[in-house]
Structure 1
Amino acid sequence: MTSARHHRQYDVINVFYNSFLAIFNIFFYLFFSNLILLVVLSLGVSSQQITDSQRLFTIAVSRVQHLHILAQRYFGNFESSLGPDEKRQLNKIFLQDFCNSDYIISPIDKHETQRSSVLELLLVSYRLVESWEVPSRSLAALSRDQISGKLTELKTGLQLLIRTNQEAAFVEGGVALGRFEDYDQRPDQNLRRNYELLACFRKDMHKVETYLTVAMCRLSPEANCTL
Structure 2
Amino acid sequence: LHSNIMSKRTGLFLWCLHGMLGSAMDCKNGGAGNVHCSISVDKLLDRAIHHSELIYIISEESTALFEETFIPKSMHAPQNNWGHCNSKTPPMPTSKSDVQQISDKWLLQSVLILIRFWMDPLKELQSSLDRYDNAPSALLNKTKWISTKLMNLKEGVLVLIKKMLDEGTLDPGNSVSLTSFMVPSDETEYVLRDYSLLTCFKKDAHKIETFLKLLKCRQTDNLSCSLF
Q: Same fold (TM over 0.5)?
A: yes
Counterpart Cα distance in 2 of 1:226 and 1:67: 22
In proportion to residue count, which structure has more helix? 1
Choose which of 33, 57, 60 in structure 2 pairs with 1:72.
60
Cα deviation for residue 80 of structure 1 reads 2.6
Counterpart Cα distance in 2 of 1:119 and 1:190: 38
Instruction: Find the counterpart in structure 2 of residue 196 from structure 1.
Output: 196
Instruction: Find the counterpart in structure 1 of residue 155 from structure 2.
Output: 156
Letter in 1 for 2:58: L
Structure 1 residue 105 corresponds to structure 2 residue 90:
yes
Counterpart Cα distance in 2 of 1:57 and 1:215: 8
- List alignment gaps of at least 5 residues for structure 2: 1-38, 130-138
Who wins on radius of gyration, i.e. which is larger?
1
Instruction: Find the counterpart in structure 2 of residue 33 from structure 1.
Output: none
Instruction: Find the counterpart in structure 1 of residue 140 from structure 2.
Output: 143
Secondary structure at the residue paired with 1:175? Answer: coil
Identity %, equivalent residues: 25
Query: For the aligned residues, what is the CA RMSD?
Result: 2.6
Instruction: Find the counterpart in structure 2 of residue 21 from structure 1.
Output: none
Secondary structure at the residue paired with 2:226? Answer: coil
Structure having greater relative contact order (Cα 8 Å, sep ≥ 6): 2
Deviations 1:11-51 (A, max 9, x none): xxxxxxxxxxxxxxxxxxxxxxxxxxxxxxxxxxxxxxxx8
Secondary structure at the residue paired with 1:143? Answer: helix
Instruction: Find the counterpart in structure 1 of residue 109 from structure 2.
Output: 123
Letter in 2 for 1:60: A
TM-score (norm. length: structure 1): 0.66
Q: 1:76 to 1:91 in 2, by over 3 A?
A: same
> How many residues are matched?
172
Deviations 1:86-143 (A, max 9, x none): 33xx659x7552x23x212333425223431111111001100111110111443342
Q: 1:183 to 1:62 in 2, by over 3 A?
A: farther
TM-score (norm. length: structure 2): 0.66
- List alignment gaps of at least 5 residues for structure 1: 1-50
Counterpart Cα distance in 2 of 1:222 and 1:207: 19
Secondary structure at the residue paired with 1:177? Answer: coil
Cα deviation for residue 215 of structure 1 reads 0.3
Moved more, 136-145 or 186-195: 136-145
Counterpart Cα distance in 2 of 1:117 and 1:95: 25
Q: 1:86 to 1:147 in 2, by over 3 A?
A: same
Letter in 2 for 1:148: S
Instruction: Find the counterpart in structure 1 of residue 211 from structure 2.
Output: 211
